[in-house]
Structure 1
Amino acid sequence: MSTSEIATVLAWHDALNESDLDTLLALSSDDIEIAGPAGAAQGLGALREWASTAALTLNPGRMFVHSGVVVVEEVPGPADAPGQVAAGAAAFRVVHDQVTAIFRHPDLASALAATDLTEQDVVS
Structure 2
Amino acid sequence: MECNSAHHQTLMTIETAEQWVDRSNHKDLEGLLGLTAPQIEIAGPRGAGFMNNADLEEWLERANLQLATLNRYAKDEWIVLEQHGTWLDEDGRIKGEAIVFTVLCVKDRKVHSLARYDGKEQAFQASGLSDEDKVG
- TM-score, scaled relative to structure 2: 0.81
Higher strand proportion, which one? 2
Counterpart contact for 1:12–1:27, Cα < 8 Å? yes
Give the unaligned 5+ runs of structure 2.
Answer: 1-6
Q: Which amino acid aligns with 1:59?
A: A
Structure 1 stretches of at least 4 aligned residues deviating more than 3 Å after TM superposition: 77-85
How big is the shift at 1:77? 3.3
Alpha-carbon distance in structure 1 between the residues aligned to 2:63 and 2:21: 13
Counterpart contact for 2:85–2:97, Cα < 8 Å? yes
Counterpart contact for 2:87–2:97, Cα < 8 Å? no
Aligned to 2:130: 118
In the comparison of the two structures, how many residue pairs are matched?
Answer: 124
Q: Which amino acid aligns with 2:14?
A: I
Matched, 1:93 2:114: no
Pairs within 5 Å for 1:74-93: 74-77=83-86, 81-82=93-94, 84-93=96-105
Aligned to 2:16: 8
> What's the RMSD between the two structures over aligned residues?
2.0
1:81-111 Cα deviation digits (max 9, x unpaired): 5463532101100000000000111122220
Aligned to 2:45: 37
Tell which structure's C-alpha radius of gyration is larger. Answer: 2
How big is the shift at 1:113? 2.4
- TM-score, scaled relative to structure 1: 0.88
Give the unaligned 5+ runs of structure 1.
Answer: none
| Bigger shift: residues 96-105 or 41-50 | 41-50
Counterpart contact for 1:25–1:48, Cα < 8 Å? no
